[in-house]
Amino acid sequence: MKTRHLQIFLLAISAVLIFSCKKNEVAESQIGDSIKILSQSNGPTLGYSVSSGITILDEKGLKFKDLNKNGKLDRYEDWRLPVDERAKNLASLMSVEQIAGLMLYSSHQSIPAAAGGFGAGTYEGKPFPESGMPASSLSDQQKKFLTEDNLRHVLITRVESPEVAATWNNNAQAFVEGLGFGIPANNSTDPRHGPVASTEYNAGAGGNISMWPESLGLAATFDPDLVQRFGEIASIEYRALGLATALSPQIDLGTEPRWNRLKGTFGEDPFLSADMARAYVDGFQSSDALSEISNGWGFQSVNAMVKHWPGGGPEEGGRDAHFAYGKFAVYPGDNFKDHLIPFTEGAFKLKGKTKSATAVMPYYTISFGQDIKNNENVANAYNEYLITDLLRGKYGYEGVVCTDWMVTGNEGPKPEVFMGKPWGMEDKSIADRHYKVLMAGADQFGGNNDIKPVLEAYEMGVKDHGDEWMRARFEQSAVRLLRNIFQPGLFENPYLDPRISKETVGNPTFMDEGYQAQLKSIILLKNKENVLPLREKSKVFIPKKFIPSTTNWWGVKSEEKWVDAINLDIARKYFNLVETPEEAEFALVFVSNPESGTGYDPEDREKGGTGYVPISLQYGPYKAEFARKKSIAAGDPLIAPEVTDRTYKNKSITAANFKELQLILDTKKSMSGKPVITIVNTSNPMVFNEFEREVNGILLHFGVQDQVILDILSGKAEPSALLPIQMPANMKTVEEQFEDVPYDMESHVDELGNPYDFAFGLNWSGVIKDHRTEKYKK
pLDDT at position 21:
54
Instruction: Tell me: pLDDT of 442 over 80.
Output: yes
Instruction: Tell me: pLDDT of 553 over 80.
Output: no
Among candidate residues 35, 277, 70, 281, the one with its CA nearest the CA of residue 172: 35
Alpha carbon dihedral 546, 551, 554, 555, in 10-degree steps, equals 140
pLDDT at position 481:
98
pLDDT at position 7:
37
pLDDT per residue as tens digits for the range 264-285: 999 999 999 999 999 999 999 9
Average pLDDT over residues 342-346: 98
pLDDT at position 1:
34
Instruction: Tell me: pLDDT of 404 over 60.
Output: yes
pLDDT at position 12:
37
pLDDT at position 98:
98
pLDDT per residue as tens digits for the range 502-523: 999 999 999 999 999 999 999 9
Rounded CA gap, 709 and 32, in Å?
Answer: 44
pLDDT at position 778:
82
The backbone torsions φ and ψ at residue 237, rounded to the nearest 5 degrees and listed phi first, read: -65, -40
Among candidate residues 78, 47, 75, 76, the one with its CA nearest the CA of residue 62: 78
pLDDT at position 572:
97
Average pLDDT over residues 359-378: 97
Q: Mean pLDDT, the chain, as a whole number? A: 95
pLDDT per residue as tens digits for the range 674-697: 999 999 999 999 999 999 999 999
pLDDT at position 662:
98
pLDDT at position 198:
81
CB within 8 Å of 647: residues ≥ 6 apart? 610, 612, 627, 628, 629, 630, 631
pLDDT per residue as tens digits for the range 199-252: 877 766 667 899 999 999 999 999 999 999 999 999 999 999 999 999 999 999
What residue type is 282 in one-letter code? Answer: D
Instruction: Tell me: pLDDT of 190 over 80.
Output: yes
Average pLDDT over residues 52-80: 97
CB within 8 Å of 60: residues ≥ 6 apart? none
pLDDT at position 460:
98
- Are the CB atoms for 706 and 566 separated by under 8 Å? yes
Buried b / exposed e over 306-324, threshold 16 CB at 10 Å, is bbbbbbbbbbbbbbbbbbb
Q: What percent of the chain has pLDDT over 90?
A: 92
Average pLDDT over residues 418-427: 97
Examine residue 434 and say whether the peptide bond preceding it is cis (omega within 30 degrees of 0): no
Instruction: Tell me: pLDDT of 196 over 90.
Output: no
Average pLDDT over residues 619-641: 97
- Are the CB atoms for 478 and 102 separated by under 8 Å? yes
Q: Could you tell me which residue, 622 or 290, shows the higher pLDDT?
A: 622
DSSP result, 296-361: TEETT--EEEEEEET----BGGG--TTSGGG-EE--TT--GGGGGHIIIIIITS-SSTT-S-SEEE
Rounded CA gap, 504 and 515, in Å?
Answer: 17
pLDDT at position 673:
97
pLDDT at position 4:
37
Q: Is 180 left (phi over 0), alpha (psi -120 to 50) or beta?
A: left
pLDDT per residue as tens digits for the range 447-492: 999 999 999 999 999 999 999 999 999 999 999 999 999 999 999 9
Average pLDDT over residues 392-416: 97
Percent helix, strand, coil in the chain, to 5, is 30, 15, 50
Instruction: Label residue 556 by pLDDT band (50, 70, 90).
Output: confident
Instruction: Tell me: pLDDT of 60 over 70.
Output: yes
pTM of the predicted protein model: 0.95
Instruction: Label residue 558 by pLDDT band (50, 70, 90).
Output: confident
Q: Is 735 left (phi over 0), alpha (psi -120 to 50) or beta?
A: alpha
